C-alpha cells in the first residue's frame, strides 16, 4: 500500500507560503506532494486534534475576554485583583515545584533501577507504578490523613513511644508535597521507564570504562540521554500540581494554606458563575504551560535528536553489587509507603461501618457489608462497563492520534507545527467544569445527535487527555534518531510503511505507557463527566462522587479497593500485549 | 487542497465554537414572555384539587407518554428510594440525572440557552433554585400541599421539598458534657480551640447567623469578634461529608455547622457522634423543586411535585432527612426556633458574604500551627 516516492528529506517544506512561478508542472508537483499519504494523514490528524482542543479553548477564551457588553478584561481584574493573589501564587509554586521534584526524583530513580539494574523485587514495580494512579485523589488523601494526622494518624501512634506525639503532620505544605508527589510519581515512572528502555546503555558502559564513577555516569550520561522524557514529565507534573485540588483542599485548608486552585474553586462557586474570572486564572496557567513547552522543546533540540540509532542494542542490567540490599530495601519502603499503607488503610476502612483507629472493638465490628453494598448499587455495573469502554476508547484514540501528531511536531518540518503542540497541551490547564461547559455549549447546538450520549463523554475524555498523550508520544519520538527513517526510505519504504514498521515499534514503549496512564486516570475523571453524562450513561467516577457526597466512606473505600483490583488486572494484560508490540520490552 | 481544507476545518471548528455566542453563556434561555405550552398545563391544573386534580394529571401524564426527566442534587441513596416509589405508583418511567447543585445549575442554564428541553423538574439547593427561577426558567406551581409549607419558605417559581439544617455536631468519645455546645456563641469559647472545625464554604450559614445577631441589636464589631473567636484555633475542612467522617474518626471534636442528616447517618452507622439537643436557633436552608417552562411532560411534572410534597415527604422523613411538610400536614420545624437562610439576600449579596466569610475563615491562618 505504501506508494513509493522519491525519498524525501524528513523536512519537506510545506506548500504554504510559496508563490514560485506557476506552470502546470509545478502545480502538479505540489498536488503530488499534498496528496501523499503522509501529508493527508498529517492534515487529518491535525484537524482532529485541533478541533478537539480548540472547542474548549475557544470557549474558554471567549468567556474570558467578553462580558455582556463585548470585549472585557474584567475577569483578569477579578481574578488577579485579590490582594492575596501573591501569597496564593507563592504557596502554589512552592507546592507545585516541591511535588514535581519529589515525583520526578522518585519516579526517575525507580524507573532507572527497574530498567537498568538487577534490583530485586521487580514484580513490585508494576503495582507501585499503577496503584497510586488508580486510587482516587480524595481517597488517597484521606488515607494519608488517617496515616499521618498529628491527632489520629496511625503512623504517629506507632512512632509515639519512640519520638513522642505528632511525629508527622500531614497538614503542612510539606505534607501536601509528600502526598501529591507520591500520588504523581507513577506518571514520572511511566515516562522514565519508556525513556530508559529506549536509550542505548553502551554509552553508559563506555563512560564507566573510561573511568567515570556510577554517579558521574548517571549524571553526565544517563540523565542527558533521557532529557526529553524528563522535561515532558516535569512539565506535566508541574502543571498538574498547580491545578491539583484534592490535596490542597483536604490538607492545606486545615491550617489555612491556600493555593491557586482554591481560588478557581471559589470563583466557579460564585453566582452567577464567574467564567471570566476562572478563565483568566486558566489563561495564566496556559501562559506558564506554553513557556514550559517552548523550553522543553528548545532543550530537547539541544539534546541532538535521538538515542535510538541504527545500531542494535538491548539494555543489559547493571549489577548493583553491594548496593543491592540497600536499593532493595528502598524499593520495599517505597512500595510500603505509596502502595501498601494507603491500600491497607482503604481496606481497613472498607471493612468497618465507620472509620476509627484500630482497637479490639474496631476489629470486632469488621464485616464485608460495604463490599456487598457496592455490588448492590444499581448504577455500578453500567458505570463499570461505561468506564471501561470510555477509558479504553479514549486511550486508544488519543494515543493513535498522538503517534501521528508527535511525528508532525517532531519530524515533519511543516512550518508552524509547534502550534499543534501548544494547542494539544491546552486542555490540561482548562478547569474540568469549563471544559465540560464548553463541550456542552457546542454539542447542544450541533445538528449531530451527540449531546446526551456516551459519545459526548468520549469526546470530553479524548480532549482532556490529549496533553498527556502528546507528551508521551513526543518524548518517545524525540529519542528516535531520524537516520532510521531515512534508511527505511532510502531502502524504498513509503512514509506509511516507515511509520508503521519502523517508528511505531520504536516508540511503542512510550505509546503503551501513555495508553495505560490515560486508561487508568480516565476512571477518575469527574468534573466534566458529571456535567455531560445522562441517566443510563453513568461512569464509575459518578458513583465515587455519590458515595463521597453521601459520606459513605466505607463503601467508597470498598469501591476503591475493587477498582484497584480490576484495573491492576487489566493493566497487566495491557502490558503483556504492549510488550509483544514493543521491540525491547523485557 | 489538503492544507487549505485543514485550515477550513480549523476555521469550521472555530466557527462552531463561536456560533450562537450572542450572549454570555449564563444568560439567555427561552426568555420570559409568551406562556409556554407547559405553562398552559400548569395554569389549567392549578384550579383543580383533590382526586379530580390527580385523575386529570394521571390522564394527561398518559397522553404525555408516562415519561419524566428529573435533575436533582438529592443524594443517590435517598433518590433511589423516592423515585422508584413514584414510578411504581403511577407506572411512569423517570430519567434521573444526579449531580451536585452547581453542576445542576450549569447544565440547566446551558440547556436553556440552547433551547434544549432537558429536565421537566429540577430539584436542588435553594440558591441554585432561586437562580433558575430568577432566570424565568420555571413555571408557577400551586396546590394544597404547597400551601401547608411554612410561609417563610414559599418562594416564587419553586417549592421546598426538604430542608437542610445546620447544627453543631460533636464526637461523644472526645467531648464530655462540659464541652457540648448549648448556643452558637459557645463555639467562640477558647475551650474549643484545637478541636472545633469549620467548613470553608458555609457562607450561607455565616450570613444567616450574622444577620440574626444584627437583628438582635449586636454591634457589627462584636459579631465580628464572635466569629473571629470561633475561627481562632479552629481547623478548616472542605466538604460537609468529609468533615463528618473526620469527626467520627476523632480528628475533630466538634463541627460548627454540620448538616443534621449527615450527622444522623453517621450516628446510625454506629459512629460516636451526636447533635441532640439541637443548638437553637437552628439554621435551615430549603431544597426545592421547580417545574420547567420548557417541559415536554408538564402534567407528569405536576403529578411528581404533588406526590413529592405528599407521599414523598414520608419517604424523606423515613430516610433521615427533614421534609418540607410533615406527612400529617404539620410544620417539621415546629417547636424549634428557626432561622431560614434568606435566599433573596443570598442571591443579591451572596458573593459579598462569600468573600467576607472567606476572610473570616482565613483569620485562622495567622495562628501558629497548634
- Sort out which chain B residues have CB atoms less than 8 A from A51's CB and list them: 9-10, 13
Q: What is the mean pLDDT of chain A?
A: 82
- Tell me the domain boundaries of chain B: 37-162+286-329, 164-284+347-366
What's the rounded mean pLDDT across residues A462-485? 86
What's the rounded mean pLDDT across residues A57-74? 83
Query: With contact defined as beta carbons under 8 Å apart, do A345 and A148 qualify?
Result: no
Rounded distance, CA A332 to CA B323, Å? Answer: 53
pLDDT surpasses 80 at A575 = no
A81 φ, ψ (degrees, to nearest 5):
-80, -15
Between A and B, how many residue pairs show a Cβ–Cβ distance under 8 A? 211
Rounded distance, CA A381 to CA A389, Å? Answer: 12
Q: Quick check: A451 contacting B, CB < 8 Å?
A: yes
Please state which of the ranges A336-345, A569-578, B320-329 shows the lowest mean pLDDT: A569-578
- Which pLDDT band, with edges at 50, 70 and 90, does A308 fall under? low
Counting every residue written for chain A, the total comes to: 586
User: All domains of chain A, ordered by start, with CATH?
Assistant: 35-67+368-585 (1.10.3720.10), 80-302+318-366 (1.10.3720.10)
Q: What angle do CA A387, A388, A393 make, to 5 degrees?
A: 100
DSSP state of A362: H
Say yes or no: do domains B37-162+286-329 and B164-284+347-366 share a fold: yes
Nearest alpha-carbon partner for B129 in B297, B309, B344, B353: B344
Helix/strand number for chain B, H first, E second = 14, 11
pLDDT for the residue numbered A142:
85
Ramachandran area for residue A79 (φ above 0: left; ψ -120 to 50: alpha; else beta): alpha
pLDDT for the residue numbered B197:
95
Rounded distance, CA A225 to CA A305, Å? Answer: 10
**Multiple choice CATH, B37-162+286-329, 3.60.20.10, 3.40.50.150, 3.30.70.1430, 3.40.190.10:** 3.40.190.10
Question: Would you write out chain B's pLDDT as a tens digit for each of its 370 residues?
Answer: 344 444 434 444 444 444 433 333 333 344 456 788 899 999 999 889 889 999 999 999 999 999 999 999 998 888 989 999 999 999 999 999 999 888 899 899 999 999 999 999 999 999 899 999 999 999 999 988 899 998 888 899 999 999 999 999 999 999 999 999 999 999 999 999 999 999 988 999 999 999 999 999 999 999 999 999 999 889 988 888 889 989 999 999 999 999 999 999 899 889 999 999 999 999 999 999 999 999 999 999 999 999 999 999 999 998 888 999 998 888 898 889 999 999 999 888 988 898 889 888 886 433 333 3
As given in the structure block, the three cell numbers for residue A361 are 472493638
Q: Quick check: A369 contacting B, CB < 8 Å?
A: no
Q: Which of B245, B354, B362 is the closest to A256 by Cβ?
A: B362
Q: Which of residues 40-59 of A touch B (CB under 8 A)?
A: 40, 43, 46-47, 50-51, 54-55, 58-59
As given in the structure block, the three cell numbers for residue B354 are 462569600
The highest-confidence range among A15-24, A58-67, A338-347, B162-171, by mean pLDDT, is: B162-171
pLDDT surpasses 90 at A565 = no
Query: With contact defined as beta carbons under 8 Å apart, do A438 and A426 qualify?
Result: no
Across the interface, whether the CB atoms of B10 and A146 are under 8 A apart is answered: no
Interface pTM, i.e. ipTM: 0.81
- Dihedral of CA atoms A430, A241, A140, B260 in degrees, nearest 10, equals -60
Mutate to test the interface with B, among A41, A151, A276 (most CBs of B within 10 A): A151
CB atoms inside a 10 Å sphere around CB A196 = 22
Architecture of domain B164-284+347-366: 3-Layer(aba) Sandwich (3.40)
Across the interface, whether the CB atoms of B249 and A146 are under 8 A apart is answered: yes
Flag whether the pTM goes above 0.80: yes
Across the interface, whether the CB atoms of B270 and A365 are under 8 A apart is answered: yes
Rounded distance, CA B213 to CA B223, Å? Answer: 7
Nearest alpha-carbon partner for A110 in A305, A337, A321, A307: A337
- Sort out which chain B residues have CB atoms less than 8 A from A268's CB and list them: 102
Q: Is the peptide bond before A482 cis (omega within 30 degrees of 0)?
A: no
Nearest alpha-carbon partner for B66 in B303, B267, B274: B303
Mutate to test the interface with B, among A140, A254, A265, A273 (most CBs of B within 10 A): A254
- Which pLDDT band, with edges at 50, 70 and 90, does A209 fall under? confident
Query: With contact defined as beta carbons under 8 Å apart, do A541 and A525 qualify?
Result: yes
CA-based end-to-end distance of chain B = 69
pLDDT surpasses 70 at A16 = no
Q: Which of A66, A270, A357 is the closest to B354 by Cβ?
A: A270
Hey, which residues does B95 pair with through a beta bridge? B69
Across the interface, whether the CB atoms of B107 and A440 are under 8 A apart is answered: yes
Helix/strand number for chain A, H first, E second = 29, 2
Q: Angle of helix A85-116 relative to helix A122-134, nearest 10 degrees?
A: 150
Amino acid at each position: 500500500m505504501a506508494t513509493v516516492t522519491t525519498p524525501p528529506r524528513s523536512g519537506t517544506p510545506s506548500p504554504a507560503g510559496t508563490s514560485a512561478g506557476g506552470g502546470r508542472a509545478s502545480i502538479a508537483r505540489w498536488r503530488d506532494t499534498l496528496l501523499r499519504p503522509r501529508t493527508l494523514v498529517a492534515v487529518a490528524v491535525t484537524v482532529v486534534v485541533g478541533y478537539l482542543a480548540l472547542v474548549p479553548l475557544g470557549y474558554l477564551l471567549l468567556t474570558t475576554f467578553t462580558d455582556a457588553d463585548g470585549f472585557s478584561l474584567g475577569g483578569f481584574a477579578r481574578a488577579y485583583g485579590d490582594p492575596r493573589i501573591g501569597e496564593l501564587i507563592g504557596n502554589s509554586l512552592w507546592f507545585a515545584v516541591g511535588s514535581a521534584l519529589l515525583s520526578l526524583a522518585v519516579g526517575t530513580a525507580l524507573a532507572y533501577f527497574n530498567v537498568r539494574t538487577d534490583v530485586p523485587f521487580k514484580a513490585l514495580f508494576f503495582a507501585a507504578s499503577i496503584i497510586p494512579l488508580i486510587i482516587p485523589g480524595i481517597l488517597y488523601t484521606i488515607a494519608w490523613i488517617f496515616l499521618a494526622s498529628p491527632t489520629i494518624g496511625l503512623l504517629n501512634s506507632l512512632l509515639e513511644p519512640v519520638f513522642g506525639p505528632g511525629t508527622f503532620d500531614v497538614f503542612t505544605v510539606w505534607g501536601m508535597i509528600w502526598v501529591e508527589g507520591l500520588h504523581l510519581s507513577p506518571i514520572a515512572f511511566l515516562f522514565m521507564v519508556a525513556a530508559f528502555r529506549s536509550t542505548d546503555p553502551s554509552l553508559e558502559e563506555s563512560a564507566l570504562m573510561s573511568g567515570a564513577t556510577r554517579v558521574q555516569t548517571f549524571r553526565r550520561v544517563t540523565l542527558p540521554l533521557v532529557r526529553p522524557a524528563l522535561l515532558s514529565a516535569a512539565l506535566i507534573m508541574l502543571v498538574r500540581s498547580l491545578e491539583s485540588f484534592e490535596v490542597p483542599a483536604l490538607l492545606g485548608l486545615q491550617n489555612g494554606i491556600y493555593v491557586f486552585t482554591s481560588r478557581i474553586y471559589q470563583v466557579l462557586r460564585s453566582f452567577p458563575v464567574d467564567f471570566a474570572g476562572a478563565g483568566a486564572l486558566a489563561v495564566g496557567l496556559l501562559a506558564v504551560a506554553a513557556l514550559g513547552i517552548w523550553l522543553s522543546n528548545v532543550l530537547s533540540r539541544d539534546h541532538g535528536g535521538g538515542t535510538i540509532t541504527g545500531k542494535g542494542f538491548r539494555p543489559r542490567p547493571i549489577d548493583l553489587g553491594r548496593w543491592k540490599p540497600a536499593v532493595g530495601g528502598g524499593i520495599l519502603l517505597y512500595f510500603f509507603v505509596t502502595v501498601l499503607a494507603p491500600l491497607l488503610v482503604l481496606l481497613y476502612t472498607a471493612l468497618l461501618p465507620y472509620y476509627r483507629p484500630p482497637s479490639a472493638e474496631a476489629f470486632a465490628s469488621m464485616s464485608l457489608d460495604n463490599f456487598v453494598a457496592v455490588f448492590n448499587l444499581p448504577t455500578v455495573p453500567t458505570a463499570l462497563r461505561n468506564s471501561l469502554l470510555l477509558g479504553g476508547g479514549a486511550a486508544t484514540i488519543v494515543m493513535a492520534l498522538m503517534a501521528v501528531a508527535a511525528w508532525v511536531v517532531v519530524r515533519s518540518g511543516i512550518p508552524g507545527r509547534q502550534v499543534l503542540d501548544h494547542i494539544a497541551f491546552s486542555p490540561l490547564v482548562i478547569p474540568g467544569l469549563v471544559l465540560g461547559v464548553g463541550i456542552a455549549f457546542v454539542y447542544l447546538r450541533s445538528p449531530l445527535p451527540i449531546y446526551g450520549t456516551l459519545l459526548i463523554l468520549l469526546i470530553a475524555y479524548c480532549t482532556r487527555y490529549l496533553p498527556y498523550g502528546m507528551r508521551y508520544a513526543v518524548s518517545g519520538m524525540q529519542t528516535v534518531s531520524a537516520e532510521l527513517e531515512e534508511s527505511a526510505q532510502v531502502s524504498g519504504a513509503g512514509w506509511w510503511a516507515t511509520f508503521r514498521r519502523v517508528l511505531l515499534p520504536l516508540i511503542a514503549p512510550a505509546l503503551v505507557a501513555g495508553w495505560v496512564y490515560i486508561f487508568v486516570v480516565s476512571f477518575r475523571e469527574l468534573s466534566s463527566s458529571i456535567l455531560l453524562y445522562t441517566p443510563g450513561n453513568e461512569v464509575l467516577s459518578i458513583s465515587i462522587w455519590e458515595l463521597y457526597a453521601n459520606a459513605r466512606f466505607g463503601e467508597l473505600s470498598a469501591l476503591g479497593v475493587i477498582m484497584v483490583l480490576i484495573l491492576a488486572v487489566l493493566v497487566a494484560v495491557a502490558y503483556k500485549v504492549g510488550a509483544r508490540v514493543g521491540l525491547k520490552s523485557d | 487542497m489538503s492544507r487549505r481544507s485543514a485550515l477550513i476545518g480549523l476555521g469550521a471548528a472555530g466557527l462552531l465554537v463561536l456560533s450562537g455566542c450572542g450572549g454570555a453563556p449564563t444568560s439567555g434561555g427561552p426568555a420570559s414572555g409568551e406562556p409556554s405550552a407547559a405553562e398552559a398545563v400548569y395554569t389549567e391544573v392549578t384550579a383543580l384539587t383533590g382526586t379530580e386534580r390527580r385523575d386529570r394529571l394521571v390522564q394527561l401524564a398518559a397522553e404525555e407518554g408516562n415519561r419524566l426527566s428529573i435533575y436533582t442534587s438529592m443524594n443517590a441513596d435517598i433518590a433511589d428510594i423516592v423515585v422508584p416509589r413514584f414510578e411504581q405508583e403511577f407506572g411512569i418511567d423517570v430519567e434521573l440525572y444526579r449531580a451536585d447543585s452547581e453542576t445542576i445549575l450549569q447544565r440547566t442554564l446551558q440547556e436553556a440557552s440552547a433551547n434544549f428541553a432537558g429536565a421537566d423538574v429540577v430539584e436542588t439547593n435553594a440558591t441554585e433554585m432561586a437562580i433558575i427561577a430568577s432566570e424565568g426558567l420555571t413555571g408557577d406551581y400551586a396546590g394544597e400541599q404547597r400551601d401547608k409549607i411554612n410561609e417563610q419558605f414559599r418562594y416564587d417559581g419553586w417549592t421546598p421539598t426538604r430542608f437542610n439544617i445546620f447544627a453543631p455536631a460533636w464526637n461523644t468519645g472526645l467531648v464530655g458534657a462540659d464541652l457540648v455546645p448549648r448556643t452558637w456563641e459557645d463555639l467562640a469559647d477558647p475551650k474549643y480551640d484545637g478541636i472545633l472545625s469549620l467548613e470553608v464554604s458555609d457562607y450561607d450559614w455565616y450570613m444567616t447567623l450574622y444577620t440574626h445577631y444584627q437583628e438582635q441589636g449586636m454591634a457589627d464589631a462584636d459579631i465580628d469578634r464572635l466569629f473571629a473567636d470561633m475561627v481562632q484555633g479552629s481547623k478548616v475542612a472542605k466538604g460537609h461529608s468529609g468533615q463528618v467522617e473526620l469527626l467520627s474518626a476523632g480528628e475533630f471534636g466538634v463541627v460548627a455547622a454540620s448538616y443534621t442528616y449527615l450527622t444522623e447517618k453517621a450516628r446510625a452507622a454506629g459512629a460516636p457522634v451526636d447533635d441532640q439537643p439541637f443548638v437553637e436557633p437552628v439554621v435551615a436552608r430549603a431544597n426545592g423543586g421547580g417545574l420547567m417552562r420548557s417541559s415536554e411532560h408538564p402534567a407528569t411534572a405536576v403529578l411528581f411535585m404533588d406526590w413529592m410534597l405528599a407521599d414523598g415527604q414520608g419517604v424523606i422523613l423515613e430516610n433521615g432527612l427533614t421534609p418540607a411538610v410533615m406527612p400529617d400536614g404539620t410544620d417539621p420545624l415546629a417547636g424549634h426556633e428557626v432561622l431560614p437562610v434568606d435566599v433573596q439576600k443570598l442571591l443579591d449579596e451572596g458573593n459579598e458574604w462569600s468573600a467576607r466569610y472567606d476572610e473570616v475563615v482565613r483569620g485562622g491562618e495567622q495562628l501558629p500551627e497548634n
